[in-house]
A and B are shown apart, each in its own frame.
Chain A
Amino acid sequence: MDGPFSIAIGLIASGDPALTGTIALSLKVTLTAVSIACLIGLPLGAGLALARFPGRGAIVVASNALMGLPPVVAGLLVYLLLSRSGPLGDLALLFTPTAMVIAQTILILPIVISLTRSVVEDLWSEYREQLRSLGAGRLRAVPTLLWDGRVSLVTGILAGFGRASAEVGAVLIVGGNIAGQTRTMTTAITLETSRGNLGLAVALGIILLLITLSLNAAAWGLAQSARGRLG
């Protein structure tokens, strides 16, 4: 009788189609969510760093607090929005990968906004007079500061990726864990473990760990080489 680890290795080595399909969907959902969160969060965070308006403090606190938003709660919110009787029920998005992308975007967005705000705010205090002297106003400073803060920003975006790829609550609620359609690595691990199918669960666990590990290695390597190259 084989143990779960040898079964897991066997599954990975044979490139089991159920396994690869689940991995591909997980990556697709999370990468899409990260991209959307960056598209919205980078300019928003930078704007929050440079602009001064009433209520700014409340937004900063809210986005910081939402970094710790429990994934199940995010999932529940999106579920309520997308369910048949919800305000967006007519779109029939519940239990689709799109719903999972929406839920994960909500999870990652506060991380990207808060991180961008803090990075850009620090840079702005250093760059402010110089940029003004060179002829850049606040608005024009935004892309400059985002680009000059790119190393710290990428590290933070990877943290967001890590959070999204590791969470199970949100995707389980809004995706429904349908085999071949909305089954991700984390939801599959939950299911296979409860069914006693430990080999597949362990295989997915190993892959998930490897992805997280290599992402962090990449982030670290990037930061190191950037320090050497950019000063």
Chain B
Amino acid sequence: MKVDKVIASATTILPLRLTGVGYSVGKTELLDGIDLTVNAGRRLVVMGPNGAGKSLLLRLCHGLIAPTSGSISWQAQDPRPAAQAMVLQRPVLLRRSVRANLDYPLALAGYARAARDEMVQKTLTRFGLIPLAERPARLLSGGEQQRLALARAWAMRPQVLFLDEPSAALDPSATRAIEDLICQFSAEGITIVMTSHDLFQARRLAQDVAFLHRGRLIEHGPAARFFDAPQTPEARDFLGGELIW
């Protein structure tokens, strides 16, 4: 798969650099001392047991919450550049039609009506949503809802797309469809940062892996190395299916 087709747009917002990033609530440190660089054009899968802080890490990167220590900086000096999108673990679809759901963020971004109509139409076509365009988004099936959530994120023309457990509640065929889309995004040059609790999915999709354990980043590197020769006992146990906390 061709992934080196670096984004054509004039300014690139990547790499994203996290330096000593921590997030604590009261005295509980949920994330601590994270140093991580997200490079353009890669598919990075953040792995780790439940409660390791995967979701939190993505929300920090996306700018939904601010770190309580350390810093997060984009190549573009903008603290929260627009050319990034996220699909939340439980995406909220608005109580409107599929078409209106796609239109909404584009309107927020300030695109004019005509440009939006064209972008929405293109997105509907691209994701096979034309037959569903006028349907209420909340009444779609789980797989269709997730497809719409991905389409909505894609329509915002992100350079980097954060995906939090993108197929957590889906059946195998819907999961397959979502994974295909992720690979296509990647081939289009969109940098992917996703979490997954599914080892098989991580093996299928990851080019790089960041392994979190109890709020610390204990391994980060190419996926092949992580899966074949994990460096830490925690990662070995995790890959071996042991329960680690």
Contact = CB atoms under 8 A, between A and B. Distances in A.
Contacts of B95: 147-148, 230-231
B62 A134 contact: no
B92 A126 contact: yes
Given A129-B59, A130-B88, A231-B139, A135 B109 contact: yes
A144 interface: yes
Contacts of A148: 94-96
B62 A231 contact: no
A136 B85 contact: no
Given A144-B94, A148-B96, A231-B95, A133 B108 contact: no
A127 interface: yes
Nearest to B108: A135
B245 interface: no
A147 B104 CA distance: 12
A28 interface: no
A52 interface: no
Given A229-B136, A231-B139, A129 B64 contact: yes
Interface residues of B, number: 22
A89 to B, nearest CB: 48
Contacts of B94: 144, 148
B88 A134 contact: no
B94 to A, nearest CB: 6
Interface string B133-169: 0001111000000000000100010000000000000
Interface string A125-142: 011011111111000100
A133 B85 contact: yes
Contact of A135 (B59, B82, B92): B82
Contacts of B85: 133
Contacts of A140: 108
A60 B64 CA distance: 28
A145 to B, nearest CB: 10
A135 B92 CA distance: 14
Given A133-B86, A148-B94, A148-B96, A230 B64 contact: no
Contacts of A130: 88, 91-92
A203 B104 CA distance: 50
Nearest to B86: A133
Contact of A134 (B59, B96, B108, B137): B108
Given A129-B59, A133-B64, A231 B137 contact: yes
Interface in A119-163: 126-127, 129-136, 140, 144, 147-148
Interface in B50-70: 59, 62, 64
B105 interface: yes
Interface in A163-204: none
Contacts of B96: 147-148, 230
B108 A231 contact: no
Contacts of A231: 95, 136-139
Contact of B108 (A129, A136, A147, A230): A136
A135 to B, nearest CB: 4
Contacts of A147: 95-96
Interface in B107-124: 108-109
Which among A126, A127, A133 has the highest number of chain B CB atoms within 10 Å?
A133
22 contacts: A129-B92, A130-B88, A130-B91, A130-B92, A132-B64, A133-B86, A134-B105, A134-B152, A134-B156, A135-B82, A135-B108, A135-B109, A136-B108, A147-B95, A148-B94, A229-B136, A229-B139, A230-B136, A230-B139, A231-B95, A231-B136, A231-B137
Given A133-B64, A231-B136, 9 more contacts: A130-B88, A130-B92, A133-B62, A133-B85, A133-B86, A134-B156, A230-B95, A230-B139, A231-B137
Interface of A: 126-127, 129-136, 140, 144, 147-148, 229-231
